[in-house]
Every structure is written in structure tokens, then in C-alpha cells.
A and B are shown apart, each in its own frame.
Chain A
Amino acid sequence: MTDDSALVVADHVSRTYGRGPSAVVAVHGTSCRILAGEQIALVGPSGSGKSTLVHLLAGLDTPTNGVIRWPGLGGLPARLPAGSLGLVFQGPSLLPDLDIAENVAFPLVLSGHPGPSARAAAVMMLRELDLADLADKVPGEISGGQAQRVAVARALVARPRLILADEPTGQLDHASAAIVVALLTDRAHELNAGLLVTTHDPWVAAQLEIQWHMIDGRPRFSQAMVP
């Protein structure tokens, strides 16, 4: 397997916040890649740089050093149709002025789907996550855990080829976490998508085929993932 078929390739990538003595090196000379169908858990303590790496791989942030490419996706994520890359943020990320169904449908609408069909797809997605009765509520009316599951639904709705989920189970109880992880892995499998889930929960990490351990800005690869 070559780099050219990898969904995303990071080549000696660093991300430093600030300058001088107070500079924080969040990601430290990392090289990695994610292939289609791979399911990876990125595990590490808080502050180890997991979120920063996710943002770099999603193309939302630019590395201070090194290069990131998305050969298998066919271009920069920003140039792809919305939703080709499914993203779940660590914090609250629902749009407060849209209802839950509209939030989930949002990537579809952005990529040009007509409103009614996008909403129908969103409601179906919500049903799979057992969230159908939230469809007409607004984010201000649901709990943090529910909001996180809605964010997962939104990441999956547009049949992404690469899914990057930052602590999707962070605020969930074990049962809900299990549902969310199962949904992510099943859907990734079904779509033959690459999946990266960051977590500090060993049980969640164990649900995925591959574990990367993030220590001081460098992932240690527990399986044969050396580039």
C-alpha cells in the first residue's frame, strides 16, 4: 500500500503554539497516515495534543513544520464537498439557531442537497442513534450528552470517507458511549471509511482495531503503522 491511496498523510508534522520560552509544542514531529477502512483510536491524557492532531488532519489548522496531504480524498478538505470528511468536535459544536434535524442535515445542505431530502436523511440518521424525538428541538433544549450524539450523527450523515471524532464519548455514560462507538465503527466499515477516534477511555480505545498512544505530542503506534 502506498501513500497515494492513503486518505491522509502527515509527514514530520509539528504544531507549536506561541513563540519563545512560552511556546507549547502540541504536536511534535509526527508522521502518520490513515487508510480507507482503518479504524484507529488515538489515546492519551488531556493536553497531550490529540485535538491539535485531529484539527491538523482535518485541514482546519496548518502545521508549523512538515506537510499534510490528502491523496486518497482527492484534494484539500476545504475544497471537497461538505461532509466528505466527517468531523466531531470535542466541545459543543451544534449551531444554536438551527433545530436538531437542521443541524444534522447541515452538511448535506451545504453540499447542495435540497432542504427536504436533506432533512429526511437527517431524521433517519437521528433514528439510528435513537434521537428521533429530538429532531424539532434546538440545541439549547438538549443535554450535553445528547448534543454530542447529535454531533456524531451530523458527522456521519453525508457518507464521509474519512471520519475524525474528537472525544465523541467524552460526556457519555457507558451505555451511550457503546452505542456511539458501535455506530461510528459500523458506519465506517459500511462506507469503507477511515476512522480516527480520540479518547482517554481505554474501553472505547479497545473497540477499535488500532491504537495510537499520544505522549507529549507524539503518537506511539501500537500496531504496524510505521510510515
Chain B
Amino acid sequence: MSAGAWLAGLVRRRPGRLAASAAGVAVAVALLASIATFLSGALATMTTAATRQIAVDLQIEAHQGVDPGTVLAAAAAAPRVQAALPVEFGTTTGLRAATGSTIQATGPGVVVGVPPGYGAAFPGELRVLVGDAAGVLLAQQTAANLHAGPGDTVSIGRAGLDAVMVRVDGVVDLPQADSLFQAVGAPAGAQALAPPDNVIVLPAPRWHAVFDTLAASRPDLVRFQVHARLDHHLPRDPSAAFNQVSGASRNLEASVAGGAAVGNNLAAALDGARGDSLYAQILFILLGLPGVALAGLLTATVTAAASDRRRREMALLRVRGATVRTMVAIAAAEAAAVALVGAAVGLGAAAVVGRTSFGSATFGASRSSGIAWALASALAGVVIAAWAIVVPAWRDARRVTVAAARQPLGRQDRPRWMRGLLDLWVLGASGVIFWLTSRAGYRIVLVPEGLPTLSVNYWALSGPLLFWAGCGLLAWRIADALFGPGRRLVAAAAQPVAGNLSATIAASLSRQRRRLSRPVALVALTVAFAASTAVFNSTYHHQAGVDAVLSNGADVTVSYPGNSGPPADLPTALAAIAGVRHVEPMAHRFAYVGADLQDLFGVRAPTIVAGATLQDTYFRGGSARQLMGQLARQPDGILVSAETVKDFQLSVGDQLRLRLRDAASGQLTEVTFHYLGVAKEFPTAPRDSFLVANADYVAARTAAIGRPTNNTFLLTTGPASPVAVADRVRARVGTASGAVVTDLVTSRRQVGSSLTAVDLSGLTRVELGFALLLAAAATGLVLGLGLHERRRGFAIARALGARPRQVAAFVRVEAATITLVGLVLGALGGWGLTEMLVKILTGVFDPAPSGLTVPWGYLAVMGVLAVVAAAAAAAVTVRATRRPIVETIRDL
């Protein structure tokens, strides 16, 4: 008999078996191809996010004595450069401003000169908060220090020369101060720790008027840079983009022939992104690879459901003279048909999924890699089909005998892996790897700064993967034990459904435990996979939300920069705006901790925990509620950063003296606080050092009682859209007030780190969808096929006088045991796996989560779906037992 004829016969007689196997292959192929689709999209997003966050791509600094003009000409002529403008930096000995009867003075600062059109060429470098962008601009913090604003006069001190007076036209925020004031060409470690405290921006002609004479006597106090923007048409992969941008800057360095140093901000951002991209790839491998493996296992389980019958067919063929070779050829033909159909359906499904979820049906960053991914996915389908169909057939063909074929389910030995305790070895290995890789200081991605190669510690990834596999094997063992030695337990549990039949049912299940344990393991693996994916994803999303809340402060944040205080009735007015649920005021100002100027947040301790949704992970030394409670009880309490604790060797209760500006005298005055605990994060606070204290205490000690010291308002919107509420707030406070109104949604889009900018929701949808599909298939399909193979036994039982409900009891107990045991073991495994993933992938989370965010809704849907699929499989089987009995008995 030819393989083709056999195949034709199989299609006619067992279309269900073929379709189910092909469906398993299709799921594997579709999942793999979808992950590839996502990766291509994610990499491109990371590249664009990295390029978008950079205001000035290149900062080229002319060396002492080199003519800035030649550097500018070289930069303008360099390949990929789209815009190049000169920028000057001058050092001032200090700024002074007189407001009313008081005079404020600052320490040394930087005066930046920018040419006309700079703001248009490099949007994002200077953000004008109030006033005229073309004039003299004070940096926000400088304005606060000087108590100066538009219209005030500031004098700029010059070393060895007279000070120069300028009239302030506006206040500016310098969002990228770190890179703007970097020491270009200096090694990473030699960078100044923080940008200058005092900055004033002048139009280029004014700058030259102030500094040209100084430059003649003290050339060390001025610097000349060229700021350049590069063509942003870059490769989608952050690594390739990084290489290209680095090349452009090396090219430029060569063309100025050592006359200038190039600070490549874009390459630095892409450098971070390529680390993130690798992280993302790891993440998707960790979450996606098990899905593919599961689809493969599902296919194998589908084919295994019919293995007894296949063995009988093989035996018959053998009797009719078929060689092992022919039998393998027949199986190979079946596998080829399954793989072909499965791969075609799978790739088609992936293209549809890609289009609907990501808007791109391509499987990779480029067309060639797209084709490669499609081929790789299809190949995986072929491997799965071969493994699930050909390998067992070959094994059977070699050892099959007529006697063995007639023996449907003899007493088989326990599988060899079970006797060798493979599951425990695997779990143990996973535990050791986890212990090694979750120790402090361990990094899963190694990004050698500036080098084009990255390395991943794939070793660490094997921890969760082995844990997952070990859980599956352990579930198998537990199920085997439950059906075998634990059959009394099953019988007792079956009593309500099966009555006096329960012992017989348990006995029957115990003799089939080799066949039944496998689906239990499969269900457990699927549930563990789906649950850990879902929990991981929602924890990630939750933390991304927390991140955005942290940087924006609240749903909507209103802040008054400089010393333009808000009207006294503002809180009431804000609370009255439609959609605003709660207004939490904060007094943001600056305080000297030693010589270090830090942000100080004056809070209303009793209401801020709820009002600003403070999380426990923001603090050390107590929960948010505990620490704010202590702050409320202790007026002079203060929370400081970990660095400050280290620098000043603080322990709880220690005194901390800060210098704050007194509202009455305008002079710095010393205020004593007591150290309470550590604040690592705080709404609107910068990432480095800051302080949190009681607003009332600070106001009382700086003679500010009765003055509107609260200049930051955190608004909770409840169900109303933050964007809409922000618009209403803007209309209410007016633009003239200088108030800055930001909302969570908009700032979330602008959050810098490229990984947080990658929208995981597309992948989440795809993976969670696949997980549901797999969960339904693992229970419904596998259970259904297993039951289908036993319909003859059910027909015999009916012929012997079993009532339909008695046959149903057999079916239901089997279905319920497999599903429930699988669900429970899978839920336990999934919980462990998620804890492990979150721990290992800690770097992905910013800020670190205080606990797992469990998507109960999704988990409930999955549980219900699994139960419904199992119930449907049981119902179909029960229904089939009502079919004319004799035909079923004679049929087989």
C-alpha cells in the first residue's frame, strides 16, 4: 500500500484527527510568527522613541583656539546632518537680582548664547514657560533662586570685569539640561554630576556683547559648540541605528581633524535602546517560547490520544507485510500533510493577527528577515508535526507485534523519567539557577558602553523555563499519583456525581492513568503559561502607569514655576472644576543640604497618601501610610534620599539642618528637621535627590504663614479623562498666570525610557488570546479526543444497562478531574513562575513593583473557558453515547 493511498484513506476515515493535529501545528506557527511581528514593531518603536527623546543629536565642541566657524562649516557639510547652529557657553561668577527691597545672589552659573531660529531647529531643548522666547531667559530654578521673573533686571557677574545688567524676558525650562551641559568628549565617569544650578540664556548677539571681551582675557571661561540634527531615517533595529549614528559622528570627528570633540546624544540614547530591545526580546522569548512549546505538546497529545488505535493499525499493516520503512513513510506522509496545512493556516492567521493588532503583517524588521521568520515558523511547524506523528510511529513500527496490538492497555511501567525523578532534578536545577541569577547585582543584559556588541545572559532565562517544564512534569507525577494510589480520593470526590459507581469509575481511571496524566500536565502547563503571562503583563502595565503617575505626579498636575504664586482661592477653584475629585496641594521649593541644592516637597501629611496615591515602594523604612502618619505626628520630620542618608551618615531621629530662603528677609535661614525615613520616589520629584517634609512646618519656619506657598496641585480625576480635565484647568487658571498644566495621558506618551514607550498591549492581546485558545484546546480538544477513543466502552456500558446518566458520570468525573487538577496545579505553577519572572526581569520594571498585579478578570475568563471547553467535550461524548448502541459496538 502506498503512503498516498493510506493518506487518502486517513482523510476519509479520520478527518478529525488530521484537523486537530493541523490545528495544533497552526497555533504554534501563528504564535511564533506573531511574536516575530511584534518584535519587528517593538524594535522600530524603540528606535523612534529613542530618537524622539533627543533634542540635539550631536554637540560638537571646538577645542580651545580652534575657530568655531570652521567647525560649523565642517558640521554643516557632514553627511546625514540636516541642521547645524552655533551655541556659546560662558561662565559667570554669579547672578544677582533686586526684587522689592531685597537682593538675591547666586553662586557661579552658565550663560548660554543661542542664535535666532535655535528653538525651531531644536524644539525640546528650551521650553519657554512664560515670556518671550526670543529674549533673555532665566532657567526655572534660577528664577526661583533669584525671585525674579519677566521684567526684572538681573546682573551677570564676569571674572575680572564689570557685571552686565540684562532685563529678563521669560522663564525657561531646560528638560535636557544633563546633555546640554555635558562635558563633551570627556569619558563617562568624568561627567559633572549635575547640570549647573544657575543658568541664563541670551540671544547670540547679546551673549557676544557680554562675553567677547572676557573671551579675550580668559578663554578658559567660554566654550563654543555646534549643535547638529541628524537625518532620522534610521534602521528599525536600535543596534543597527546605533551603528549608523556612531559612524556619522566618527566621520564628522575625522573631518574636523581633531579640532573638535563630538558628543553624540542620539547614539547614547540608541545605546540605551539597544539594551532595552534585547531585554524586550528576552521577555518575548520567555513568554512566547513556552507558547510554541505548548502548541507542540498539544499536537503530540492529540496524536497520542489515538495512539492505541494507531498501534493496532500498524500491527495490521505489519501482518500484511509492511516494513518499518513503509510504516514510517506512511507516518511521514501524514506528518507532511499536517505540517503543510498547519503552516499555511498558521502563517495566514499570524498575518491577520499582525494586521489587526500591530497594523503590520510583516514578520521582521526587513523583508528578508520577514521571509526568514516565516520560514523559521513554518519549519517549527514541520518539526512539531514530525515529532508528534513520525517519531511515535517509528517507535511503534519497530516494536509492534500482533500481541502488543491486541493488548490495549496492559500494566505499563511508570515512565522512565518518573522513576529517575527527572521533574525534581529539573525543578532543582531551576532553583539553583534562579538563586544564582537573582542575587543582587546580577544583570541579565550586558551592554558594554559604546560597543556594537551586546551579550545576553541566556543562562538566567533557563531558570524560569526549567521551572515551567519541571512544573509540567511534576503535575504529571501528581496526577499519576492521584489516579493511582490516590484513587480513593477520586472515588470520594466522585461520590456526589457517581453514587455507588464512584469506586468503579476511580478504578477505571486508575488503569488509564498513563493516558490521563498527560492532559493534566498539559492543562497545568497551559494554565501556568497563561496565568504567568497575564500576571506579568498586568504587573508591567500597572508599573508603567505608576511610572507615568510618578513623573506627572497625578492625573492632572498644576504647577506654578518660579515665584509666581497662585491666587489664594485656587484650591477651591480647582476642586470646583468638573471631573476633579480631589486636589492635593504641595509646596515645591529648594533647600540646601550642605552645599547641595535639592528639591523640597512640603506636603499635607494626613491626606497625601490617598490624595497622591503613594505606593509603598516609594519609601524605605516603612509603608507609605506609616511614614506619612509619622510625618503627621512629628511636624519637623523629614524624608530624604538614600544618597543623603549615606552622605550624612543619618540614622532615624537624627537632626538634619537645611538652609531655606526666608520669605520675609529673602535670606537663607537654617531650619532643623528630624530624619524619619527614605523616599526613593515621589510624585513630580526628580529621580536623584529630594526631600519631603510637612508644608506647614516649612511655612512656619520661613515666615511664609499666610502666603500662598503651595505651588503644585495634584488633581485626581476619577473616571473623567485627564486630558479633558487638564483643558478645563488651563481655561480656568489662564496662560498669563504662568501655571503649567500637565496630564497623565500626555506625559505617559512622553515618558522617556524607550522600553516603557513600547506598547506591550498588542503583544499582550496576542499572547493572552493564544493562551486562552491553548487553554480551551488543552482541556476541550484533548479531553474530547480521549473520550472519543473510548466511545466503544461507553456503548458497551449502555448495552449492559447503564443509564445515560451513569455513562455521563464516567465522562464527567474524568473531565472534571483532569480539568480541576490541571487548573489547580497550573495556577500554583503560574504563581511561582510569575514571581520568578518578575524577580529575574526586575530591570524591566520602573519603579519596582511592591507586589504582583493579578488580572482576576482574565484569569476568571480563562478558568471559565477551560471548564466550559471540558464541559462541552463531556457533553458531546455523553450525547454520542445515545447514538444507536449496536452500531457503535460493531463499528469498532
Binding site for B on A (CB under 8 A): 55, 58, 60-62, 77-78, 80-85, 87, 89, 91, 93, 95-99, 102, 105-107, 109-115, 138-141, 154
Residues A114 and B407 in contact, CB atoms below 8 Å apart: no
Q: Residue on B with the closest CB to A141?
A: B410
Residues A87 and B507 in contact, CB atoms below 8 Å apart: no
Additional pairs, 20, CB under 8 Å, beyond known A61-B884, A97-B511: A55-B886, A60-B884, A60-B885, A61-B886, A85-B801, A97-B507, A97-B509, A97-B793, A98-B507, A98-B508, A98-B511, A102-B508, A109-B500, A109-B504, A110-B800, A110-B802, A140-B407, A141-B407, A141-B410, A141-B411
Q: Kindly identify, within residues 790 to 804 of chain B, every residue whose CB is under 8 Å from any CB belonging to chain A.
A: 793, 796-797, 799-803
Residues A82 and B802 in contact, CB atoms below 8 Å apart: yes
Residues A140 and B409 in contact, CB atoms below 8 Å apart: yes
Residues B409 and A95 in contact, CB atoms below 8 Å apart: no
Q: Quick check: is B408 within 8 A (CB to CB) of the other chain?
A: yes
For A140, the chain B residues whose CB sits under 8 A away are: 406-410
Residues B504 and A98 in contact, CB atoms below 8 Å apart: yes
Interface flags for B583-594 (1: CB within 8 Å of A; 0: not) read 000000000000
Interface flags for B786-819 (1: CB within 8 Å of A; 0: not) read 0000000100110111110010000000000000
Give the contacting residue for B504; candidates A89, A102, A141; CB below 8 A.
A102
Q: Kindly identify, within residues 425 to 463 of chain B, every residue whose CB is under 8 Å from any CB belonging to chain A.
A: none
For B407, the chain A residues whose CB sits under 8 A away are: 140-141
CA distance A140 to B260 in the complex (A): 88
Q: Residue on A with the closest CB to B511?
A: A97
Residues A96 and B800 in contact, CB atoms below 8 Å apart: no
**What is the CB-to-nearest-CB distance from B491 to chain A, in angstroms, rounded to a whole number?**
9
Residue pairs across A and B with Cβ atoms less than 8 A apart, 28 shown, are A58-B799, A61-B884, A62-B884, A78-B801, A81-B801, A82-B800, A82-B801, A84-B801, A87-B799, A87-B800, A91-B889, A95-B797, A97-B409, A97-B508, A97-B512, A98-B508, A99-B511, A102-B507, A107-B800, A110-B501, A110-B802, A110-B806, A113-B500, A115-B504, A138-B410, A140-B406, A141-B407, A141-B410
Q: Quick check: is B503 within 8 A (CB to CB) of the other chain?
A: yes
Known contacts: A60-B885, A97-B409, A141-B410. The answer to whether A106 contacts B507 by CB under 8 A is no
Q: Residue on A with the closest CB to B885?
A: A60
CA distance A139 to B505 in the complex (A): 16
**What is the CB-to-nearest-CB distance from A137 to chain B, in angstroms, rounded to a whole number?**
9
Q: Residue on A with the closest CB to B308?
A: A96
Q: Residue on B with the closest CB to A54?
A: B886
Residues A112 and B500 in contact, CB atoms below 8 Å apart: yes
For A115, the chain B residues whose CB sits under 8 A away are: 500, 503-504
Q: Which 8 A-B pairs have the closest CB atoms?
A: A82-B801, A97-B508, A140-B407, A97-B511, A115-B503, A140-B410, A55-B886, A61-B886
B interface residue count range (under 10 / 10 to 19 / 20 to 34 / 35 or more): 20 to 34
Q: Residue on A with the closest CB to B804?
A: A78
**What is the CB-to-nearest-CB distance from B689 to chain A, in angstroms, rounded to a whole number?**
71
For A96, the chain B residues whose CB sits under 8 A away are: 408-409, 793
**What is the CB-to-nearest-CB distance from A56 to chain B, in angstroms, rounded to a whole number?**
9
**What is the CB-to-nearest-CB distance from A185 to chain B, in angstroms, rounded to a whole number?**
22
For B501, the chain A residues whose CB sits under 8 A away are: 109-110
For A60, the chain B residues whose CB sits under 8 A away are: 799, 884-886
CA distance A86 to B806 in the complex (A): 19
Residues B511 and A106 in contact, CB atoms below 8 Å apart: no
**What is the CB-to-nearest-CB distance from B478 to chain A, in angstroms, rounded to a whole number?**
21
CA distance A61 to B795 in the complex (A): 13
Interface flags for B864-891 (1: CB within 8 Å of A; 0: not) read 0000000000000000000011100110
For A83, the chain B residues whose CB sits under 8 A away are: 800-801
Most buried by B among A55, A83, A87: A55
Q: Residue on B with the closest CB to A78?
A: B801
CA distance A49 to B599 in the complex (A): 99
Residues B886 and A111 in contact, CB atoms below 8 Å apart: no
Q: Residue on A with the closest CB to B503?
A: A115
Known contacts: A89-B889, A93-B796, A110-B800. The answer to whether A138 contacts B409 by CB under 8 A is yes
**What is the CB-to-nearest-CB distance from A202 to chain B, in angstroms, rounded to a whole number?**
26
CA distance A83 to B408 in the complex (A): 26
Give the contacting residue for B801; candidates A98, A105, A111, A114; CB below 8 A.
A111
**What is the CB-to-nearest-CB distance from B802 to chain A, in angstroms, rounded to a whole number?**
5
**What is the CB-to-nearest-CB distance from B235 to chain A, in angstroms, rounded to a whole number?**
61
**What is the CB-to-nearest-CB distance from A196 to chain B, in angstroms, rounded to a whole number?**
16
Residues B793 and A95 in contact, CB atoms below 8 Å apart: yes
For A113, the chain B residues whose CB sits under 8 A away are: 500
**What is the CB-to-nearest-CB distance from A91 to chain B, in angstroms, rounded to a whole number?**
7
For B800, the chain A residues whose CB sits under 8 A away are: 82-83, 87, 106-107, 110, 154
**What is the CB-to-nearest-CB distance from B498 to chain A, in angstroms, rounded to a whole number?**
10
Residues B508 and A95 in contact, CB atoms below 8 Å apart: yes
For A98, the chain B residues whose CB sits under 8 A away are: 504, 507-508, 511
CA distance A113 to B409 in the complex (A): 27
Most buried by B among A60, A97, A105: A97
Q: Kindly identify, within residues 382 to 415 of chain B, every residue whose CB is under 8 Å from any CB belonging to chain A.
A: 406-411
**What is the CB-to-nearest-CB distance from A57 to chain B, in angstroms, rounded to a whole number?**
12
Interface flags for B504-534 (1: CB within 8 Å of A; 0: not) read 1001110110000000000000000000000
CA distance A111 to B499 in the complex (A): 11
**What is the CB-to-nearest-CB distance from B420 to chain A, in angstroms, rounded to a whole number?**
27
Give the contacting residue for B797; candidates A55, A84, A106; CB below 8 A.
A106
**What is the CB-to-nearest-CB distance from B347 to chain A, in angstroms, rounded to a whole number?**
41
CA distance A112 to B793 in the complex (A): 20
CA distance A89 to B792 in the complex (A): 13
CA distance A77 to B797 in the complex (A): 14
CA distance A12 to B484 in the complex (A): 52
For B803, the chain A residues whose CB sits under 8 A away are: 110
Q: Residue on A with the closest CB to B501?
A: A109
For A78, the chain B residues whose CB sits under 8 A away are: 801
CA distance A118 to B38 in the complex (A): 62
Q: Residue on A with the closest CB to B512?
A: A97
For A102, the chain B residues whose CB sits under 8 A away are: 504, 507-508
CA distance A93 to B800 in the complex (A): 10
For B504, the chain A residues whose CB sits under 8 A away are: 98, 102, 105-106, 109, 115
**What is the CB-to-nearest-CB distance from A181 to chain B, in angstroms, rounded to a whole number?**
22
Q: Residue on B with the closest CB to A143?
A: B406
For A81, the chain B residues whose CB sits under 8 A away are: 801
**What is the CB-to-nearest-CB distance from A134 to chain B, in angstroms, rounded to a whole number?**
14
